[in-house]
Amino acid sequence: MCAKDRHGSARAARQEAVWESVPPGLEPAGFAPRLRALLEHVEPGMRVLDVGCGEAAFAAALAEAGAHVVGIDAAQEPLRRARERHPRLELRRVAEGEQWPFADSSFDLVWAGEVIEHVADTAAWLSELRRVLRSGGSLVLSTPTNGRMELALAAVSARAFARRFDPLADHLRYYSRATLTRLIEGFGFYDVRVRTLGRLPGRRGLLLHALRSRF
């Protein structure tokens, strides 16, 4: 097994271990405000891909709103739980680094909630996302923000720095409004709209960026 394969296997094992430690049926953090922001961009009949769908809470809500939804995740455990709770949803496992099993321009909208910060190869991930999104389609994503207060605290507090940049944590990337915008625009998207939704209960720092893009 090559080093890349070993690394991918280790990442997959850690993802499964994380999910094994999460109680089944736990509502995603900030579910209500994130769902409200997402549904602003969804119309009945839309083809929507939920990337990193987890236990499919968002996918189920999108289906209730009249969208045709497909959910994908890199881990088996959340998909097993999702299939038990939402047997009518179309859910697929796609291992990290694999090509997504969809034709070009398959979706009107792609939703990626709290996913991009976990992605090792961001360029490949965004390229694949753009491939399956139709021309003129929309990307809506959220990610924890790193504003001035969060970065300042990490700079002056060893404990805060260790907590935020723990080398064993599953967050691999950290974004601000400016860096997220530059990243998305660099992949040919335009009409990028970034907004801060607020704070999540029990979390440090600003909640998320909700981003909508078209290309």
Q: What are phi and psi of 54, to 5 degrees?
A: 60, -130
**Residue 57 identity:** A
Domains present along the chain, CATH in parentheses: 3-214 (3.40.50.150)
Q: What distance in Å separates the CA atoms of residue 69 and residue 49, rounded to the nearest whole number?
A: 6
- pTM, entire model: 0.83
**Of 12 and 75, more confident:** 75
pLDDT in tens, 144-154: 876 555 555 55
Q: Tell me, what's the pLDDT at 195?
A: 77
> Helices 57-64 and 31-39: crossing angle, nearest 10°?
40
pLDDT band at 214 (very low <50, low <70, confident <90, very high): low
The string of pLDDT tens digits covering residues 59-112 is: 999 999 999 999 999 999 999 999 999 999 999 999 988 999 999 999 999 999
- Give 22 or 46, the one with higher predicted confidence: 46
Distance between CA atoms of 181 and 85, rounded to whole angstroms?
A: 36
pLDDT confidence bin for 210, thresholds 50/70/90: low
Residue 46 has pLDDT above 80, yes or no: yes
- Mind listing the pLDDT tens digit for each residue in 169-180? 556 787 888 888
pLDDT computed for residue 19 by the predictor: 84
Q: Who wins on pLDDT, 171 or 8?
A: 171
